[in-house]
Chain A
């Protein structure tokens, strides 16, 4: 009790402190904002605060892309799935790996010579409580203290490293892997704080976003995905949903008893920030368990877009995309902030390609829903999103909850992988087009009763996955137009596209494929301009920068993640009678494990 009180007192002091700081401009934050506008560097995981993954660079363009080639490569020495991508600050590149979460500082002056290496010592018992491979989605940077790199480790440690030497400045622990809480997401630096989410939605944990003070790693605020209004940092009158106040106990009312305490809502995706509104945006994941009949109610605020004050964490608005989830459609995919025409009207939009297969367009100032359309025609669990209530119009035939426990619900699209997972899309402000890496996979889903044991899986469903009936491609790379709410073009891919896309002012867009190809295509048509087979499947995100006046592309290959689990052995037998005879080849016939960074440049 005493320690709780002192923590409360401490956080009250910090809140007061941050309120004062909030009104004064932070120099480090201004410098980071400035750096993020310099296209020669890549200083944030998703390129800029708006998570657009767009670059103004033009040397690599529709005319020159054909002369791209690898200029140097670097093996990380780690085998498992390599998500995320490198940062580039000045003449240094920073790369992180899956467990053991080694961080490398590579000198661009010397084609990737290792300037320093940091390898944390972590208890290997964290490995099996990581849901779907031991991925890490990258490090973050702040100019504070002459430059620091933040690493979010598998065991939920958040470590600040001196960017010049790799020496530990501070090291704190955010969660408890003994309860299935783990770290996979990239931190985001906002002003004098660094924000991190938490993973573990398959282990009955409770999701939250936590802000730590950059200065010393002390906790500034914590905001839960489920719980009391104060745990949520909700003001029942001021926090809104669909333009209306959320009211009191908005989360507790939607759970049976204290089930919310194992309610999931993990925050393992990406965080965006709008400096002019001083608001951060992120999503929460699936409610626990995967058996919907075991947790009646809307299970708020799992599967939700959160907009919060960047200084205090107070929620401004929320929007739940998949109330009472029955499919594992986590809402954690990136929130792209774009000033874009929507139905002809210029809009301060938040655009989100959700796992559930709908592309949501919200007014990011007030959270009002403006558009929600399917971005894969195969999506069938809901016929549409009702624009007045914001709720999906469900198709009971494809609802495992509606069908009840111990019943196998067949041909649900998308599969639990979602029409898109964490692999981030890209937005070009030049043509207002979104470029989206997608999955094209359906499933059978059978929920059943499970019991909770701390640190053990808390799932309660089994599923089988396969391509949509009569089709044989498991992925598409698409261009999506939010002005019309329509797919502009779609390039079919043999496997799910599980790599973060990069669009540039050179009118090209680059992405990686699970069989290991880096591809560069024309933004207007999707026409292939260049491809190269990297050493392993690509689930990393493509970044770009210049060094010595020349533009480069950089990407991590190293197959794994959910994609590597679901597809390594193929999803089904060729003769399984799914209407796709001979359609599906095993990914393991194309690629093997191994993390390698490949840097591409143009011929002189």
Chain B
């Protein structure tokens, strides 16, 4: 059983890595990599189109547990706080493989999204949206987007 899960997880990591690489190539023009440069743009409360897509897919796939605007629910963590202590790699790994915390006082399980095309293809966008929220650059609610 565990081997099968491992295989699936590995397969999805490879798939996501390939997709992520593809995305990164496409995204380079919009946001060149630099240690100072944030991977999102927020101007007058409006966000770049990729971050906007991150907002949409967050609402689609993550909000049902993590609450509106990444702010946490009665049982799932506030991601605007989590992103202050997690690296991008840790976040991606958690999204792809999920996470389990089940014992006598916890029933927390995050599913593995590695086979979910919509999540994998938008993982950078979702991360950037949450980072903008975590950095305090973007407020709550439905953002408007800048012209693509």
Contacts and interface: CB of A to CB of B under 8 A. Distances in A.
A133 B107 CA distance: 10
Nearest to A124: B102
A453 B117 contact: yes
B80 to A, nearest CB: 9
B88 to A, nearest CB: 22
B127 interface: no
Contact of B111 (A128, A463, A566): A128
Interface stretch (A138-146, A226-234, A444-452, A501-509): A444-452
Interface in B98-139: 98, 100, 102, 104-111, 113, 115-119, 139
Contact of B67 (A124, A559, A565, A593): A565
B68 A129 contact: no
B68 A464 contact: yes
Task: Report the interface size class on chain B.
Answer: 35 or more
A81 interface: yes
A125 B111 CA distance: 7
A128 B74 contact: no
Interface in A563-604: 564-566, 568-573, 576, 588, 593
Interface string A25-68: 00000000000000000000000000000000000000000000
Contacts of B78: 569
B56 A559 contact: no
Nearest to B107: A99
B64 interface: yes
A104 to B, nearest CB: 16
Contacts, number: 124
Contacts of B116: 453, 456-457
Contact of B74 (A133, A202, A453): A133
- Most B CB atoms within 10 A — which of A124, A451, A462? A462
Contact of B72 (A408, A448, A461, A568): A568
Given A453-B116, A564-B73, A565-B67, A576 B107 contact: no
A535 B41 CA distance: 44
Contacts of B113: 456
Nearest to B56: A462
Contact of A459 (B61, B69, B73, B111): B61
A573 B60 contact: no
Given A132-B64, A572-B141, A565 B111 contact: no
Contacts of A172: none
Nearest to A410: B142
Contacts of A78: 107
A131 interface: yes
B140 interface: yes
Contacts of B61: 457, 459
B140 A446 contact: no
Contacts of B67: 565-566, 568-569
A560 B55 CA distance: 24
Contact of B142 (A444, A560, A573, A588): A444
Nearest to A459: B60
A134 B64 contact: no
Contacts of A576: 139-141
Contacts of A242: none
A193 interface: no
A132 B63 CA distance: 10
Contacts of B68: 464-465, 566, 569, 571-572
A357 interface: no
Interface string B63-102: 1110111011111101000000000000000000010101
A559 B74 contact: yes
Contact of B139 (A98, A131, A573): A573
Given A127-B109, A568-B67, A450 B118 contact: yes
Contact of B63 (A127, A133, A462, A570): A462
Given A79-B75, A564-B74, 10 more contacts: A80-B107, A128-B109, A129-B111, A133-B75, A450-B60, A450-B118, A456-B115, A565-B67, A566-B73, A569-B78
Pick the 5 closest A-B CB pairs, nearest first: A462-B59, A564-B74, A569-B71, A128-B111, A127-B109
Interface of B: 55-61, 63-65, 67-69, 71-76, 78, 98, 100, 102, 104-111, 113, 115-119, 139-142
11 contacts: A77-B104, A80-B107, A131-B64, A132-B64, A134-B107, A457-B60, A457-B116, A460-B60, A462-B142, A569-B69, A572-B141
Interface of A: 77-81, 98-100, 124-125, 127-129, 131-134, 202, 408, 444, 446, 448, 450-451, 453, 456-457, 459-466, 559-560, 564-566, 568-573, 576, 588, 593
